[in-house]
Amino acid sequence: MSEPTALSLIPPVVVLVLAIWLRRPILSLIIGALVGLVMYQPDQVLSNFSDISLSVMADETIGWLILVCGGFGALIALLVKTGGSMAFGRYALKFAKGPKSSLFMTFILGVVIFIDDYLNALTVGSTMKRVTDKFKVSREMLAYVVDSTAAPICVLVPLSTWAVFFGGLLVDNGVAGEGQGIAVYMSAIPYMIYAWLAVFMVLLVILGIVPAFGPMKKAQLAAAQGKPALKQGNPDEVQTPDDYGVKAIEDEFKHADNFGKLHNFFVPILLLVGFTLYFDIDVLKGLIATLAITMPYYAVQRLMPLSEMMEQMLDGFKSMLPAIGTVIAAFVFKDVCDKLMLPQYVIGNLSPFMTPQLLPAVVFLTMSILAFATGSSWGIFAVSIPIVMPLAQAVDANIPLVIGALLSASSFGSQACFYSDSTVLAAQGSDCNLVSHAVTQLPYALIAAGLAFVGFLILA
78-100: string of b/e by CB count within 10 Å (b at 16+)?
bbbbbbbbbbbbeebeeebeebe
Please work out, in degrees rounded to the nearest 5, the angle formed at the alpha carbon of residue 371 by the alpha carbons of 334 and 117.
Answer: 95
Q: Tens digits of per-residue pLDDT, 20-79?
A: 787 777 888 899 899 999 998 898 989 999 999 999 898 887 888 888 888 888 888 888
Residues 102, 83: Cα–Cα separation, whole Å: 20
Q: What is the pLDDT of residue 276?
A: 85
Residues 52, 275: Cα–Cα separation, whole Å: 35
* Element counts in the chain: helices (H) and strands (E): 24, 0
Q: What is the pLDDT of residue 426?
A: 83
Q: What is the pLDDT of residue 192?
A: 94
If we measure between CA atoms, which residue out of 314, 422, 423 comes closest to residue 73?
Answer: 314
Residues 355, 402: Cα–Cα separation, whole Å: 12
Q: For helices 243-254 and 117-134, what crossing angle results, to 10°?
A: 50
Residues 348, 393: Cα–Cα separation, whole Å: 12
User: Residue 227: CB partners within 8 Å, gap ≥ 6?
Assistant: none
pTM above 0.85, yes or no: no
How far, in Å, are 177, 414, 419 from residue 425 at the CA level? 35, 11, 10
Q: For helices 321-339 and 45-57, what crossing angle results, to 10°?
A: 120
Q: What is the pLDDT of residue 256?
A: 58
For residues 329 and 378, the answer to whether their CB atoms sit within 8 Å is: no
For residues 443 and 211, the answer to whether their CB atoms sit within 8 Å is: no
- DSSP three-state, residue 204: helix
Q: What is the pLDDT of residue 343?
A: 76
Q: What is the pLDDT of residue 92?
A: 73
Q: For helices 139-148 and 117-134, what crossing angle results, to 10°?
A: 150
Q: What is the pLDDT of residue 260?
A: 74
If we measure between CA atoms, which residue out of 109, 177, 167, 173 comes closest to residue 284?
Answer: 167
Q: What is the pLDDT of residue 196?
A: 95
pLDDT in tens, the chain (460 residues): 567 788 888 888 888 888 778 777 788 889 989 999 999 889 898 999 999 999 989 888 788 888 888 888 888 888 888 877 777 777 777 777 888 888 998 898 888 888 777 777 777 888 888 888 888 888 889 999 998 988 889 899 888 888 888 888 888 788 888 778 888 999 999 999 999 999 999 999 999 898 888 889 898 888 888 776 665 555 555 455 445 555 655 565 565 556 678 888 889 888 988 998 888 878 889 889 999 999 999 989 888 888 888 998 898 888 888 878 888 888 888 888 888 888 777 777 777 777 888 889 988 998 888 888 777 677 777 778 888 888 888 888 899 999 999 999 988 988 888 877 778 888 888 888 888 888 999 999 999 999 999 999 998 7
Residues 445, 412: Cα–Cα separation, whole Å: 7
* Distance from the Cα of residue 323 to its chain's centroid: 10
Sign of CA dihedral 245, 250, 254, 260: positive
Residues 266, 275: Cα–Cα separation, whole Å: 14
Q: What is the pLDDT of residue 232?
A: 54
In this structure, the number of other CB atoms found within 10 A of the CB of residue 183 comes to 15
Residues 421, 410: Cα–Cα separation, whole Å: 12
Residue 177: exposure state from Cβ atoms within 10 A (0-12, 13-18, ≥19): exposed
Residues 165, 69: Cα–Cα separation, whole Å: 8
* Distance from the Cα of residue 103 to its chain's centroid: 23
Q: What is the pLDDT of residue 234?
A: 52
